[in-house]
Structure 1
Amino acid sequence: MVGFVLLGWSGTAIIAYPQQVPVAYPNTVNQSSPPVPKIHVLQSSPNIAKAIPPKFSETWWEKFKTDPNAIFAGAVAIFTFGLVIVGYLQVTQMKKTLQATLKTAEATKLLAEATLNIETPIVVVLKATMVDSPFGGRFTSDLRTSPFIKISVKNVGRTPAFLDHLSILVRVLTELEDEPEYPVKMKFPNGMILESGGLEYMHQKYSHTDAGTRGVMEGTATLWAFGYFAYKDFIGREHKTGFCYKWVPPSSMNSEGAWEYGGPNNYLYMT
């Protein structure tokens, strides 16, 4: 007879035998009752494996509440995150402070430059005339006498101008070059000062030639007087004033002729 082994929850082995099927015997009136299946309960032994119920792992929150290591790790993470936030806020504030400082420094620099510019000497060219002598000469319009071109300058700034050097050129040309050239420079005497509101006069001789004078008088050429003055201010910065004039010969509208201020932009400047 074959039995089945069932393993219970507590580890107890249960052996069950299947129910016997009654057999009919011919010529027999009283049949015996079917046998009752026997069930034997065997005690568990070390050789029989016990059924272990599944064990569910704890959640991170349960570990955090009960495990000291988890609590410490969480505290470190929160502290680190706080440091990152504080560092970010500090960097942002430093950037704002630096930008404000740069703006303040730039504003201070501009104010200082504006103050210096107000106190800077400014030498301007007032006019050009033609005289027969550099020493108290009289006005003339006769180019054949090789007159002197007299340039009048004035310091309209609020501080003295320390004159350094100048260049005055007188040329008969059909037109000027785009860029000025100053091959001749004259040095002022050391210590020559043009006070605020002061006037000064510079002279340059016109060298008469028949062809040049005839071209100017007939309008086929132009007599130009151009150059610059270089000077320094009270803190040693160098400045230049460029000028350019052209001679307009006498005519029915102007019997004496005149000098007109003007020329290419590169000849007219103040630095």
Structure 2
Amino acid sequence: MNSQAQLNEASSPSILAVSPLDGYDWSTIDRAALLAERWKGRLIVLKAKNNRELSDAERRSIKEGIERRIAVLGPLAPVELISGAAYSSDAILEAVTQFTPRLVVMAPSVVWALGTLVDTAPETVAAGTRCPVLVTRSGSEDYASGLIATDLSPSCVDAVREALRLELLPVDRLTVLHAFSPLNEAMVTYAGVDPKEAERIAVAAEAKAMDDLDVFIDRCGLSGKVNARTSKAPPAAAVLEAANAIQADLILLGSSRRGGLARFLMGSTVGEVLTAARCDVLVAPGSSNALD
């Protein structure tokens, strides 16, 4: 992978935009350029073509096209184009290591194209480099409604704090969701538990889930600022249902470090949400096991 300059000065944060496999996805470039300008940083675009390195002429042409595009958005952030022979999670990891961006922005079309049977590219990058990844569909408008999905773990607290530092979450219209496992009715029936007692246990479990969520919100420093919501649905279904209900245009998920075999057998909440979500999704790293 080539670069023409060292862009990782601490005073000039960079945004790494991963262009899709065929042509440009301008929503990716637009979002990354907006953030680069807002943060007074640099826009780095990773581009690969036909499993070969770009020629100097191609690099100049692509860079000029990007600069013309983002010039209409406002002040022009410095643009650097880097290229590789092919797209891969390894290519993104290499670029993140070299340029230490504040954020990686990628299009939905590269999420699974760069993934594996058990990982998506955002999960690989967030877990492997501790760099947040924004999968964007929406271009350059500010987010108006956000959803934080949490399993209440300390790692999810770290992920929320990281997202707040990026100033992407619309705190004035933010909902925090916890999907918890309800009492298994079949097991209760098999165990011979009285139906009234089972109902009492279920109500108590729901109340505890809300209490635990309130504690989590307080640990994130968001008490009194957000809406709290619980769900008995499976995590991915709960996230998608809640996002649709509140018309979220940004979902925050914590990255997970669950082993590959466990992911293959049990699936990934992050992967399911990235596949089905209609809005942007921010995958933020935590300190240990996060939402999965």
TM range (shorter): under 0.3
Q: Which has the higher contact order (CA 8 A, sep 6+)?
A: 2
The structure richer in strand per residue is: 1
Q: State which structure, 1 or 2, has the greater radius of gyration over its C-alpha atoms.
A: 1
Q: Give the alignment's TM-score, normalised by structure 2.
A: 0.17
